[in-house]
């Protein structure tokens, strides 16, 4: 059993890092959670948290799971429409009495539920990781402001542009998925009635979804197939964040009106990328979880879920393992086949629905 005085550093206070930090604190580990922003980002858009993600939260901390159920809307129906607005197919969703629902929920509510389960003294804001070094007996994180942290294990939960990842696998490239996406949240509870998830299937170079996230709010995502400018390679945000009016005009009027009613401050835009499956998740005293390990196309909505599953599995192996190295090997043996499968099927589905992936150079 790994000693309770084991010092674990986690880089990145997104959903994967905050959940892992809270689980390890519960088990008595000495946890330091480093975030480059002054405080974990609590804004964001709507999220479809599938049942596997809810189960990963329920197993680690039922209170987090309950808080998310209270805050959001259980998925009640998937509806597929064409660009004229005609219904192509509808799939009602129902749950047995003892079954956890898939949830449609504001990312803010998820973050708040996770942060409520965390003892805040472990959180270090304005800590922008620059590099990592390790020896047989310890690992050292070096931050841009000159600070250092030394401990027994370092976890990279620092997202798709991970600074920890090169210490585990070098030269990982982002693969552009061919879409620029705008997402927003607007006050409306009529367009997507309780728990509805509406998809406008891909056609004429666009794709869109709209879903209820509870609290009288609707989330939307509007995807436009678009080449990147030469100098935009591997950047997340486009130089021009405005939604092209000609593309928006391809949506039926009622759907377009929802997007047009959204205050500009509530709209974010970004290019979509994934990464190739990594050959390993750990090296020595360093391990990767969440998007840092397996960023994928949002097509199957497994991104946040797989980060929660990683956190739960890593916490379980560290708690039960004889030492850090045995625990990391067991974590990798369990998770690598699962996350590779998520990455493979997300990419496959993404190509099938017509995304034009560009392979990394």
In the complex, which residues of this chain contact ligand FAD (CB under 6 A)? 11-17, 34-37, 40-41, 47-49, 127-129, 157-159, 163, 181, 272, 290-291, 298, 301, 303-305, 307
Q: Residue 239 is encoded by which pair of tokens?
A: 């130089």
* Helix or strand holding residue 357 (H, E): none
- 3-class secondary-structure state, position 149: strand
Give me the helices (H) in 121-234, please: none
Contact 196, 241 (CB under 8 A): no
DSSP element (H, E) containing 209: strand 206-212
Q: How far is the CB of 237 from ligand FAD (least distance, A)?
A: 12
Residue 191 CA to its chain's centroid (Å): 26
Closest approach of Cβ 299 to ligand FAD, in Å?
9
- How far apart are CB 145 and ligand FAD at their closest, in Å? 11
Q: Which is nearer to ligand FAD, 2 or 67 (CB)?
A: 67
Q: Judged by CB, which is closer to ligand FAD: 43, or 323?
A: 43
Residue 286: strand pairing partners: 154, 283
Quote the DSSP letter at residue 310. H
Distance CA(288)–CA(172), nearest Å, equals 13
**Least distance CB 209 / ligand FAD (angstroms):** 9
Nearer to ligand FAD, 126 or 325 (CB): 126
Beta bridge partners of 31: 8
Quick one: 6 or 110, whose CB is closer to ligand FAD? Answer: 110
Least distance from C-beta 87 to ligand FAD, angstroms? 22
**Count of CB atoms within 10 A of residue 342's CB?**
20
Choice between 178 and 303, CB closer to ligand FAD: 303
Q: Which residues contact 227 (CB under 8 A, 6 or more apart)?
A: none
Nearest distance, CB of residue 113 and ligand FAD, angstroms: 14
- Distant-in-sequence, close-in-space partners of 242: CB < 8 Å, separation ≥ 6: none
In the bound state with ligand FAD, the residue whose beta carbon lies nearer, of 102 and 285, is: 102
């Amino acid at each position: 059993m790994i000693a309770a005085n084991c010092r674990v550093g986690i880089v990145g206070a997104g959903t994967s890092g905050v959940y892992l930090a809270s689980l390890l604190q519960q088990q008595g580990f000495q946890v330091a959670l480093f975030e480059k922003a002054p405080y974990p980002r609590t804004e964001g858009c709507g999220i479809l948290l599938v049942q596997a993600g809810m189960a990963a939260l329920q197993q680690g901390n039922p209170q987090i799971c309950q808080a998310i159920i209270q805050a959001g809307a259980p998925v009640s129906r998937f509806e597929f429409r064409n660009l004229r607005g005609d219904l192509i197919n509808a799939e009602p969703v129902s749950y047995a009495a003892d079954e956890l629902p898939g949830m449609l929920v504001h990312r803010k509510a998820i973050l708040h539920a996770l942060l409520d389960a965390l003892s805040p003294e472990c959180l270090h804001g304005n800590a922008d990781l620059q590099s990592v070094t390790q020896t047989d007996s310890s690992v050292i994180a070096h931050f841009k402001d000159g600070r250092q942290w030394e401990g027994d294990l370092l976890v990279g939960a620092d997202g798709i542009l991970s600074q920890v990842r090169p210490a585990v696998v070098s030269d990982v490239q982002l693969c552009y998925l061919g879409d620029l996406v705008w997402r927003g949240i607007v006050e409306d509870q009529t367009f997507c009635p309780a728990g509805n998830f509406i998809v406008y299937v891909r056609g004429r170079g666009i794709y869109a979804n709209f879903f209820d996230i509870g609290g009288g709010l609707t989330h939307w995502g509007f995807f436009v197939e678009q080449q990147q400018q030469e100098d935009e390679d591997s950047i997340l945000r486009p130089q021009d964040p405005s939604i092209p009016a000609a593309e928006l005009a391809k949506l039926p009027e009622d759907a377009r009106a929802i997007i047009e009613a959204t205050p500009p401050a509530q709209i974010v835009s970004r290019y979509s990328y994934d990464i190739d499956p990594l050959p390993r998740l750990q090296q020595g005293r360093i391990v990767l979880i969440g998007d840092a390990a397996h960023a994928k196309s949002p097509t199957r909505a497994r991104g946040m879920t797989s980060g929660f599953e990683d956190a739960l599995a890593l916490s379980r192996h560290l708690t039960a393992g004889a030492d850090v190295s045995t625990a990391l090997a067991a974590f990798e043996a369990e998770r690598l086949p699962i996350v590779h499968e998520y990455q493979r099927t997300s990419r496959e589905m993404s190509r099938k629905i017509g995304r034009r992936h560009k392979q990394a150079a």
